A and B are shown apart, each in its own frame.
Chain A
Amino acid sequence: MIGTAHDIMSKVAPPRAVFVDHPVGRTFGPPHDRARNEAVLARALEELPKFSRSGEIRDPRFQWSIDGSRAWEDELLAEMRNEAKG
């Protein structure tokens, strides 16, 4: 599994999981960025031989923003709250 929701992945215990610290719904990067899509997928697949037990979540330290800013969390929260209203 390659997923963005660490708290959910830890509850459902997939056999092998790679955490991508991106907003949900943007696992492989922003829209229309094919280089980034491929880079994220390739990096996640590099984790494959490193798993040793079921339920392990590996974290290759992906960052959504180049500068490491987590401002995206506020934007995502607003988006998810709008979703609930909508």
Chain B
Amino acid sequence: MPFQYLPVMAQNSAPKPPRVLVAPSKPAWCPIKKPLDESRVALLSSAALRLAHQEPFIPREDFGYRRVPSDPSAAEIIIDHHSGIGRVPKQDPEIVFPRTALANLQKRGVVGDLSPFHFSFMGGLRDHDKVENQLATAITSDLKQAQVDLALLVPY
């Protein structure tokens, strides 16, 4: 049986009520139009990742996002997310944001192409309407502009 996170999160948040989880208001399914080896891929991360020169995320209320270059040699990544489990991934963000692994798969021809940028935002935001209608909409626009075929979300 998989590890159960929700009871631990509920205990951790007490005496405040546990976090409310919300599914998208509309079905998010869309068909896959190309095989993976012909697809342009972008990573999405809720770890609040950014480069050092980019504006830091504001915990709990930042509905913006940052573009992170998909080239693994481009500048070191900082994790702004406030979660305590960040001690380990802050040693090596690649374990939650596999930028190098994805670039290697593209070199091997497993993945067709990389989006010039990956995208990151603050996970755990509580205003779900804003997440869906402001944050997700803005990222979707960027994904379309970058002609991304497959957006791969890695929750933090």
Contacts and interface: CB of A to CB of B under 8 A. Distances in A.
A28 B2 contact: no
Given A11-B21, A45-B36, A3 B3 contact: no
Contacts of A3: 154-155
Interface in B4-50: 4-6, 8, 11-12, 21-24, 27-30, 32, 35-36
Nearest to B82: A83
B30 A25 contact: no
A49 B105 contact: no
B105 A21 contact: no
A8 B6 contact: yes
Interface stretch (B55-63, B92-100, B114-122, B135-143): B92-100
B155 A5 contact: yes
Contact of A8 (B11, B21, B94): B21
Contacts of A41: 98, 101-102, 105
Interface in A12-64: 12-15, 19, 21, 23-34, 37-38, 40-42, 45, 48-49, 53-54
Interface in B100-153: 100-102, 104-105, 110-111, 150, 152-153
B73 interface: no
B55 to A, nearest CB: 24
A82 B29 CA distance: 38
Given A26-B88, A27-B96, A80 B12 contact: yes
Contact of A24 (B24, B30, B85): B85
B28 A76 contact: no
Nearest to B89: A25
Could you say which of B3, B88, B96, B156 has the most chain A C-beta atoms within 10 Å of its C-beta?
Answer: B3
Nearest to A39: B101
A66 to B, nearest CB: 17
Nearest to B111: A45
Nearest to A16: B29
Nearest to B153: A1
A40 to B, nearest CB: 8
